[in-house]
Amino acid sequence: MLPTPIRLQPSDAERYARLRLRMLLESPWAFGASPESDKAQDLPHVRRMLAQQEYAVLAIEKPRGGSEGVEERRELIASAGIARSPSPKFRHRAAVWGVYVEPEYRGHGLGRAVMAAAIEVARAWSGVDYVDLGVSENAPAARALYESLGFEVWGREPEAAEVAGCRYDEIHMTLRIACVRDGCPRTLSCEEGDAERPRA
């Protein structure tokens, strides 16, 4: 049985910062941030963000060992972030970011679990119709996961990131989670076709 993702609280800032640093070091090509400039290492900032209603990090804790106490906070081994656009024109969109599973725990459905939890959080935000994300061309397993969840590719950004002399394209994907609202000009129903692509 898969562990249930938890929504991180401000008190989880330190252990999330540790996971975030590990992900940036282990898969630098997969993330836009770098360890030396990542805002997740600013703990007061992380606490403020985790306290916001329309910003969430869903995470899975390391399996409990026999020597750990019941109240002991365990390290995080998987996570996915989701945030609603703050722009009034794009409040109908949310973005996924920071999807990661520790290497030794891959292949057990943890990525799917945190992604599904993030999507459910977005569904609970009234008025959000789309979830957007970007994935490196160097992460075919991640892209396959997103496609299996219903995400569709709408664009490709050539050589978006450069790491250690290698450049990687960024693949942009979107998932419609609700019908476009009725009564608006130039909108499409869920049956009539695709909506406009996400904007930067």
In 10 A of CB 52, how many CB atoms? 12
Q: How far apart are CA 96 and CA 19, in angstroms?
A: 17
Write out the two tokens for 174: 């979107």
Give CA torsion, residues 196, 145, 150, 176, to 10 deg: -50
- What are the per-10-residue average pLDDT scores of the chain (200 residues)? 89 96 91 87 95 97 69 86 96 96 95 97 95 95 96 96 93 88 51 42
Name the nearest CA neighbour of 75 among 29, 162, 8: 8
How would you class 87 by CB atoms within 10 Å of its CB: exposed for 0-12, middle for 13-18, buried for 19 or more?
Answer: exposed
Work out whether the CA dihedral 148, 150, 155, 158 comes out positive or negative: negative
Q: Which pLDDT does position 73 carry in this prediction?
A: 74
Under 8 Å between Cβ of 137 and 170: yes
pLDDT at 187: 45
In sequence order, what are the residues at sequence separation of 6 or more whose Cβ sits closer than 8 angstroms to the Cβ of residue 71?
Answer: none
How far from 46 is each of 12, 49, 146, CA to CA, in Å? 9, 5, 26
pLDDT reported for residue 139? 93
For position 131, what pLDDT does the model report?
97
How many residues does the structure list for the chain? 200
pLDDT at 67: 54
pLDDT of amino acid 200: 36
List domains and CATH numbers for the chain.
Answer: 6-63+74-176 (3.40.630.30)
